[in-house]
Chain A
Amino acid sequence: MSGSPFLEQLKRAFAIAKKDLRIYYKRGPVVIFGLITPLFLFLAFSIGRNMPIESLFTGLLGMTIFFSSMSIGPAIVPFEARSRTLERLVSTPVSVWALFIGDVIASFLYGLLISVVPIVIGLVFGVNIVSPLILCLGTILAAFCFASFGILLSAYPPTDIPSTVMMISTLVKFPLVFISGVFIPISGWGRIIASFSPLTYFTDLVNHCTQGNSYYSVFVDFAALIGFTLLFLVAAIKIHEKTLPERLS
C-alpha cells in the first residue's frame, strides 16, 4: 500500500466500478430498467400530446438519468452474494465504504453515459439550452444522487435474489417519477409531496436550463440534490455494513 489510505481505498473503489461496468451493463434487469422502461414511459407520456419540445426534453432527460443511474446499483449486491464473489471482495483489503462507493461510481458512470443520448436528441431537435454549465453540473450531481439511491435500495432486505430487489426498487421508483412533475406540472399540495423526491429538483434544474423558468432557485435545487446524495450515500453504507454479515452467512 502506498499514498494516503483514503486515496488508496478510492483507487480500489474505481477498480470495483470498472468490474461492475464490465459485468452488469448488459444484464437483463439493467437493460430493462435502465433503457427500455424510461423509453416506454416517455412514449406513453408524449405520444398524442401537443407538448413543447423543451417539456419533452425535460421529461426524457429526467427519466433516462433517473432510471439508468438506478439500474445497475440494485442488481450488483444480490448477484454477487448469490455467486459468492461478494465473499471474495469482503476478504480483500477494501473497506466496506469503498466497496459500495465502487458500486455507486459504476451506476453513476452508466447513468451519465446514457444521459448523453437524450441531450444529443434534444440538441438535434432544436432545444435551446440557455445554461449549459448548470445543466452539465446538474446532470452529474443527479446521476450520482440516483446512483446512491440505487445502492441504498439494495441494502434491505439482505437478499441474494436480484428480482426481489428489482421489484422493491420499481415500487419505489415509479411513484417518485409520478410525483416529480417530469411530464405533468405539479401545483398546490402536490408540490409538498414532490419536494420529497430528488427527481423534482433535477427536473426543476432542467426547466431552468431550457425554459428559463423554475419553481425553486438553482441554489435550492443544487442544495437539495447534494443533501439527498449525502443522505442516500451514508444510509446505504451504514445499512449495508449492518446487513453484510447476514448476507454472507
Chain B
Amino acid sequence: MEPAIEVKDLTKNYGEITAVDHIDFRVRKREIFGFLGPNGAGKTTTIRILTGVIKPDSGTAAIMGYNILKEPLKAKQIISVVPEMANAYIDLTAWQNLMLIGELYGVLKEERQERAGHLLKEIGLYERRNQLARGFSKGMKQKLILCMALLTEPQVLFLDEPTSGLDVESARLIRDTIRQYNKDGTTIFLSTHNMEEANQLCDRIAIINHGKIAAIDNPEKLRMKSSGLKSVEASFNKPVSTNELSKIPNVLEAKKKGDKIRLYTDEPHGVINALMDYARSKGLTIISLNTLAPTLEDVFIKLIKEHKGD
C-alpha cells in the first residue's frame, strides 16, 4: 500500500548547522505518527519541509504520492497544518479566518459554511465566531487553528506541538478531536515533546535528535526493546542506602524517588529475591514492592543519550 508520507534522505542545512540530516521514514495511511525529540532536534524543520513552507537541500518527500517539490499544489491541497506558533489572523473574526482558509483550498461556499459551523460547535467556539481572534486566549486560538486545519477535510494533518502550553481541558479536547478525525480516516503526523501524549495517541513513534532519526517503532515495542530500563520499586519502614542497594547482583542503578527506591535491572525477578534477603538481613520491613516497565520517557532519554554518544 502506498504510504501517506514517504521521506527519503531528506537534508536541510542552515549555514553550518544541519537541522535535518539524511532522514528516511514512511507514515502509513490512517495512522497517528508521533515525531518526538528535544528542542532543536529538527522536528519543526521536517514539518516545514513536508508542508512545502521551506525546501530541503537534498532528498525527497511525497505526500500521498505527490512529490512536495515537483507537485507542491497537489500535495498541499490534501494536507493541513497546525503550526507550533499560533497564526490565525488576529484582525479577522473566527468565522472570517475559517472562510478564508476554505476559499484558499477551493471549498465551495455552502460547504465551508456548513463545515465551519459544525467545527466551531464541536470545539466550543460557535458563540464567539463573530469576535476578532485578537481577543482569544491561547487555548481558544489553538482550537481555532485546529478548526482551520480541519475545515479542508485533509487526508494528512500535520500538528506541531498542538497542546504545548494549553490548559488540561483544552489539551484534552484537542487530543479527542485528533483521535476522532483519525478514526474517520485522516492520517496524523504529530510532533510533540509530551511523552504521555505520544504514548496515548500514536500508533508509531519516531525519535529524532540532532536531525537524525534515533528509532522508529510503536510505543510498546520501543519500551520493550529498551534493555536496562525495567525496574523494581520498593519502600521500607526505615531509610536505606542506595549505595548498598546498588551492590545487589543484577542491579544496574539505584535511585531514590521520594520515599521509594528504584532499582534498574534486566532481571526483576532475581532482584526481588535479593531485595527480600537484604531486608531480612537488615531487619527491615518492605512496605511496598512493584515491578515497573520502562516509560516512554525513559526510552526517549536513553535513546537520546545513546545518540549523543554516537
B-binding residues in A (CB < 8 A): 1-2, 5, 8, 11-12, 15-16, 18-19, 22-23, 83-85, 87-95, 245, 248-249
Contacts and interface: CB of A to CB of B under 8 A. Distances in A.
Given A12-B103, A15-B103, A15-B104, A91 B51 contact: yes
Contacts of A1: 77, 106
A8 B108 CA distance: 12
A245 B55 contact: yes
B101 A19 contact: no
Given A12-B103, A83-B90, A84-B85, 20 more contacts: A15-B103, A15-B104, A22-B91, A22-B92, A22-B96, A85-B89, A87-B48, A88-B81, A90-B52, A91-B53, A91-B79, A91-B81, A92-B76, A92-B104, A92-B105, A93-B74, A95-B73, A245-B55, A248-B48, A248-B54
10 contacts: A12-B104, A84-B85, A85-B87, A87-B53, A91-B52, A91-B53, A92-B105, A93-B73, A248-B48, A249-B14
A12 B101 CA distance: 10
Contacts of B48: 87, 248
B148 to A, nearest CB: 8
Given A87-B83, A88-B83, A93 B104 contact: yes
Contacts of A16: 104
Contacts, number: 73
Interface residues of B, number: 28
B53 A90 contact: yes
A8 B96 CA distance: 20
B53 A248 contact: yes
B100 interface: yes
A245 B54 contact: yes
Contacts of A5: 73
Nearest to A9: B73
Interface in B61-91: 73-74, 76-77, 79, 81, 83, 85, 87-91
Contact of A93 (B54, B77, B83): B77
A221 B96 CA distance: 41
B112 to A, nearest CB: 11
Contacts of A22: 91-92, 96
B208 to A, nearest CB: 19
B83 A84 contact: yes
Nearest to A15: B103
B78 to A, nearest CB: 9
B53 A92 contact: no
Contacts of B103: 11-12, 15, 18
B101 A92 contact: yes
Contacts of B76: 91-93
Given A87-B87, A249-B14, A23 B92 contact: yes
Nearest to B100: A19
Nearest to B19: A249
Indicate the member of B83, B85, B104, B105 with the most A CB atoms within 10 Å. B104
A84 B54 contact: no
Nearest to B72: A93
A103 B105 CA distance: 18
B106 A8 contact: yes
B101 to A, nearest CB: 7
Interface string B87-125: 111111000100011011110000000000000000000
Given A87-B83, A93-B73, A23 B89 contact: yes
Question: Which A-B residue pairs are the 3 nearest by beta carbons?
Answer: A15-B103, A93-B76, A84-B87
A95 B52 CA distance: 11
B72 to A, nearest CB: 8
A2 B73 CA distance: 13
Contacts of B53: 87, 90-91, 248
Contacts of A90: 52-53
A94 B104 contact: yes
